[in-house]
Amino acid sequence: MKRLFILFALFILNNSLALAQNQPLRDKFVLVIHGGAGTILKSQMTPEKEKAFQDALNKALQLGNDILQKGGTALDAVEAAVRSMEDNPLFNAGKGAVFTNEGKNELDAAIMNGENLAAGSVAGVTTIKNPISAARAVMEKSPHVMMTGKGAEKFAREKGLEIVDPSYFYTEHRWKALQAAIAEDSTKMKLDHDDSTRQSALKQPENRDYKYGTVGAVALDRHGNLAAATSTGGMTNKKFGRVGDAPIIGAGTYANNQTVAVSGTGWGEYFIRLVMAKSISDMMEFGKMPLKKAADEMVMKRLPALGGDGGLIAVDKDGNIAMPFCTEGMYRGFIDNSGKKEVRIYKD
C-alpha cells in the first residue's frame, strides 16, 4: 500500500514538472533599461553625442528584445543589455567607468532573479571586463551573494570570465572629469569659511554635479519571471573602498516575481539609506500600491527630501513600467512584445 502511494506521488510529481516545463509561453514581455541619471541637459548636448547615446540604448534594447521574443529568460536579457552598455565607453560602467579619488576604476554590479530571489553581486573590482557577468557567476556558481575586490576577481578568473588589465578602463573623458571634480572640491574647501558650509562640502566628496552614468536593465519574460541588473563605476572622485547602491541587493537592484524588478541610478549613499528598490517592492506587496505610485513616492519625494537625487527603472509582474527621476535627465528606454520601443534622455 505504502509502495503504491509512493509510486502515485512520483507519477503526480513527474506530471506536474512536465507541465511546468511545457507551459505555453505568454505573449507579454517587457525590457526597460537605463544609462544613468544626472545633469543631462539638451543645451549641453551635441547632436552627435545625442545620437551616440540613442544608438547605444537602442542596441541594448534590441539585444535583450531578441532574447525575450524567442522565449529566453529575463536574466539572460538583462545581462545581455547591461553587458552591451558596459562595453560602451559612453556609460559609467565597464569600459567607461569613472575614476576614484586615487585615479583607479573600481566597479560594482548586481543581478537578481525574481523567480527564486537568487542574487549575486561584486564590488570594488578592477580587472573584470564585464562585472555583471561576474555578479551572475556569484549568483549561480557560488554559495554566496556578494564578493568584493581581489576575492571577486580571483573567483571570476576561476570561472573563466574575461580579465583585463586595469588600464582597459582608462578613458580620457573620465580622467578629465576626475581632475575637474578634484579641482572643484578643493575650491569648495578654500571658499568655505564658515563651519556649516565646510561641513556640507565635506559631506559631498564624490561631487554630485558630475552626472551619474550607471547602467541597468529590468525585464519581464514570457515565462512570467522578473529580473534586474545594475552595473557601475560608482561616483567620480569616490574614496578608496567606497561601495555604492548598485551591488547592494534591495538598494540599487532588486527583483521579486510577486511584485517588481528595479534598477537604480543616482547618489548611491541615499539609495542605500532608503533601501530604495526593496521599499518599492514592499509598498507594492504590503501596502498594495500600484508601481507608479510607489516609485514616485520614493524617487520624487523621499529621495530629494533626504538630500539625494537620481532615478530608477522598474517593471512589475503584470508588465507595467515606471522610469521616474528627480534629476535633469536620465538615459532610458523600453521595448515590449507589441513592438513598442522608446528611447529618451531628457525630462518630457
User: Annotated catalytic sites, by residue?
Assistant: 214
Of 115 and 206, the one with the shorter C-beta distance to ligand ASP is 206
- Closest-CA residue to 223 (of 112, 317, 139): 317
Question: Among residues 138, 246, 262, 274, which is the contact residue for ligand ASP, using CB under 6 A?
Answer: 246
| Nearer Cβ to ligand ASP (67/98) | 98
Q: Residue 267 Cβ, how far from ligand ASP at the closest point, in Å?
A: 6
Cα 47 → chain centroid: 26
The rounded distance, in Å, linking the Cα atoms of 197 and 40 is 26
Residue 120 touching ligand ASP (CB under 6 A)? no
d(CA 200, CA 208): 12
Query: By C-beta, is 29 or 169 nearer to ligand ASP?
Result: 169
Nearest approach, Cβ of 282 to ligand ASP (angstroms)? 20
Q: Establish if 245 lies at the interface with ligand ASP (CB under 6 A).
A: yes
- Answer for which of 85, 156, 219, 235 binds ligand ASP (CB under 6 A) is 235
Question: In sequence order, what DSSP letters do the residues of 160-219 get, joined into one string?
Answer: T--B--GGGG--HHHHHHHHHHHHHHHHHHHH--SHHHHHHHHT-TT-TTSPP--EEEEE
**Of 67 and 122, which has the nearer Cβ to ligand ASP?**
122
Burial of 23 (0-12, 13-18, 19+ CB in 10 A): exposed
Phi-psi region of 288 (alpha: psi -120 to 50; beta: other; left: phi over 0): left
Q: Which of residues 88-107 bind ligand ASP (CB under 6 A)?
A: 92
* Binding to ligand ASP in span 191-230, by CB under 6 A: 212-214
Per CB under 6 A, residues contacting ligand ASP are 36, 92, 212-214, 232, 234-235, 244-246, 252, 265-266, 268
